[in-house]
Structure 1
Amino acid sequence: MRNKKPPFEITEAALSEVMEISELVGKISSTQNLSTSPILRRQNRIRTIYSSLAIEQNTLSLEQVTAVLSGKRVLAPPKDIAEVKNAYEIYDHLAELNPYSMDDLLLAHRTMMQGLVREAGEFRSGPVGVVDNKGNVLHFGTLPQYVPSLMEELIQWTENSPFPLLIKSCVFHYEFEVIHPFADGNGRIGRLWHTLLLSKWNPLFAWLPIESIIHDHQAEYYAAINQSNAQGEGTVFIEFMLGIIKEALTEAINEQPVAQSKEEVRWAKIAAFLRMNHIIQNVDVQNLLDVSPATASRVLNTLTKEGKLVKMRNGRYWAYKLAD
């Protein structure tokens, strides 16, 4: 199998972005708890899933996605709910995937698209075209008989090329969309694999919601793909995605709280828990703050007196919710 370099150029703009991203990664690695905070990980993972699926016209809101992943009943199209559950399952096993394994790529597609398409976990057997919302054909995918060999070649190049993984992940993302190897789900798998590749460069990327920034710039995302298609090489898309990665890192750094007291840290954890679960009990606070039942009770009573929580009966036990 050839190890052919996909067509792209490393521009001064791209090199500048790479340098800035590397500096930001150094900052965030030393100051941010992205890879260790369970609450922050869950929040960012939910944002990632919501955003990646919203790009594909999934109708669930961020609140509904949160509810689905918390086991709550949501009134929404079954297909959209299944997309959320499938996406969470594969993102939850992201660390177990080998980005250079064709079998793992097919497994990811099978998990992401199970119950949604006939060819889940299989390369497409027919031709496919990408159309805009007006029905105009934007791009024809590679003929199906060439898909397996081109994907094998792309994976091998990504694994063996001496280019930095930061660059190679962007190249893979673009070339994957050009090949369009699956009948459906190419966008969400392409973004998943980009995240997977970046996480092998630095684990913090497994929890950085890059898809959320792509969703904010969805029109530009497709414009960058279309412009690269028109030029026959991926330079424009690479520069665009490097900008997206830089913006995601900058946002994460800007969201870091200033130094907080013990009480402020405890309140932040409880408030974040309640945004996900709506009510909290003494045992939840014990686990969340790693404190005794008495301390948990004292914390809850103090927050209730401060007007931050409202106490209510929940069956045999007292529970608390955020004050209106």
Structure 2
Amino acid sequence: MKSPYSITNKTLMLVTAISEKLGEINATYLYKPATELRKKNRIKTIQSSLEIEGNTLTEEQITALLENKRIIAPQKDIVEVQNAIKIYEQLNQFNPYQLKALEKAHAVLMNGLIDHPGKLRTTNVGIVKGSKVEHITPGGAMVKGLMKDLFEYLKKDTDLILIKSCVFHYEFEFIHPFIDGNGRMGRLWQTLILMQKYPVFEYLPVESLIKQKQTEYYNKLSESDKKGHSTPFIEFMLEIILESLTGLLQSQSVILHTTDRIDLFKEKIGKIKFTRKDYMQLFKNISAPTASRDLKWAVNEGILTKFGELRLTEYQFL
């Protein structure tokens, strides 16, 4: 069953703008940021997502935990961060189209924080804010069926992945499939869905913008609940994605080093033999001597095998 939502003019405008930004990112090799930036963005993502859920740890404290240093903080907050670090390190191992993978990821994310992590709820719950019931979730007996339907939609619907990822995020929060950890799981899973097609999302700190607009985030979830369709939430999340991509393009003037170029070329060429000319076709702004130095470095490092000499020289990734 297809989840109810509309493709509005605003949705189409946002999708077009996002697609243009993704094109710019691919053209400037920003889809795989340098190692230091990847680490920084991941820390920002973990800190933002968990702060939304009430975690008190700073980016500096999370950095210390990543480096296996001891910190003084509430034990629950430390466990939440350690679990989040683990899940982001394993992110590529989870199939976003499998319910079992989602349950497994929840088990890692909520390990040591709740009873039976990774198990879909079978009891009824309501979401309370202050003294007011904010959202009545579907009954526990319905959860498994609703989640199976949601994954069927994700796998089979023909809408754009940008839109489907937002719909999944909203419907996941509406179903509230676990006793706890639904907010961080919904945001994580949207990232996982998007990065299958657009690798930049693995390192894009979308969470930090959601944190800055936390009140609006919850308001759009609530507005979608009241309207009975996820259109307001889809538009909000597309705006967040566009803002994140715009910020990435504005903040990064990329200087590619030898290792960056070799990594990027390996992704593109795979195991096919190639020449220096082929290499320079991808990196049009480098000189022939720079290309030769890159390739010589990769051969010396045991990354490439070299065949032939002079103009007949070819290379292949090991």
Secondary structure of 2:16's aligned partner = helix
Residue 159 of structure 2 aligns with which residue?
163
Render the CA deviation track for 1:123-160: whole Å, top value 9, x for unaligned: 1131122222x232110111111100100010011110
For these two proteins, the number of residue pairs brought into alignment is 259
Residue 39 of structure 2 aligns with which residue?
42
Gap regions ≥5 residues in structure 1: 263-289, 291-324
Gap regions ≥5 residues in structure 2: 259-296, 298-318
- Residues 258 and 194 of structure 1: is their aligned pair in 2 closer, same or farther, counting only changes over 3 Å? closer
Question: Aligned AA for 1:77?
Answer: P
Question: Aligned AA for 1:237?
Answer: F
Distance in 2 of aligned mates of 1:176 and 1:183: 13
Secondary structure of 1:139's aligned partner = strand
Render the CA deviation track for 1:59-81: whole Å, top value 9, x for unaligned: 11111111111111110001100
Distance in 1 of aligned mates of 2:151 and 2:115: 25
Distance in 1 of aligned mates of 2:196 and 2:159: 14
Secondary structure of 2:252's aligned partner = coil
**Residue 96 in structure 1 maps to residue 93 in structure 2:** yes
Asked if the contact 1:34/1:40 (under 8 Å) is kept, the reply is: no
Of 119, 129, 140 in structure 1, the residue corresponding to residue 136 of structure 2 is 140
Residue 248 of structure 1 aligns with which residue?
244
Question: Aligned AA for 1:157?
Answer: Y
Residue 269 of structure 1 aligns with which residue?
none
Asked if the contact 1:60/1:80 (under 8 Å) is kept, the reply is: yes
Asked if the contact 2:7/2:231 (under 8 Å) is kept, the reply is: yes
Asked if the contact 2:138/2:175 (under 8 Å) is kept, the reply is: yes
Residue 227 of structure 1 aligns with which residue?
223
1:38 deviation in Å?
A: 1.6
Question: Aligned AA for 1:146?
Answer: M
**Residue 187 in structure 1 maps to residue 187 in structure 2:** no
- Residues 21 and 211 of structure 1: is their aligned pair in 2 closer, same or farther, counting only changes over 3 Å? same
Residue 208 of structure 1 aligns with which residue?
204
Distance in 1 of aligned mates of 2:235 and 2:218: 13
**Residue 106 in structure 1 maps to residue 103 in structure 2:** yes
Render the CA deviation track for 1:27-59: whole Å, top value 9, x for unaligned: 112224442522111111111111000000001
Secondary structure of 1:137's aligned partner = strand
Secondary structure of 1:213's aligned partner = helix
Asked if the contact 1:166/1:201 (under 8 Å) is kept, the reply is: no
TM-score between both structures, scaled by the size of structure 2: 0.79
1:257 deviation in Å?
A: 2.9
Question: Aligned AA for 1:246?
Answer: L
Residue 265 of structure 1 aligns with which residue?
none
Superposed CA RMSD in Å reads: 1.7
1:88 deviation in Å?
A: 1.1
Distance in 2 of aligned mates of 1:259 and 1:149: 49
Secondary structure of 2:226's aligned partner = helix
**Residue 9 in structure 1 maps to residue 11 in structure 2:** no
Runs in 1 of length 4+ with deviation above 3 angstroms? 258-262
Secondary structure of 1:124's aligned partner = coil
Asked if the contact 1:123/1:147 (under 8 Å) is kept, the reply is: yes
1:259 deviation in Å?
A: 6.4
Distance in 2 of aligned mates of 1:110 and 1:248: 29
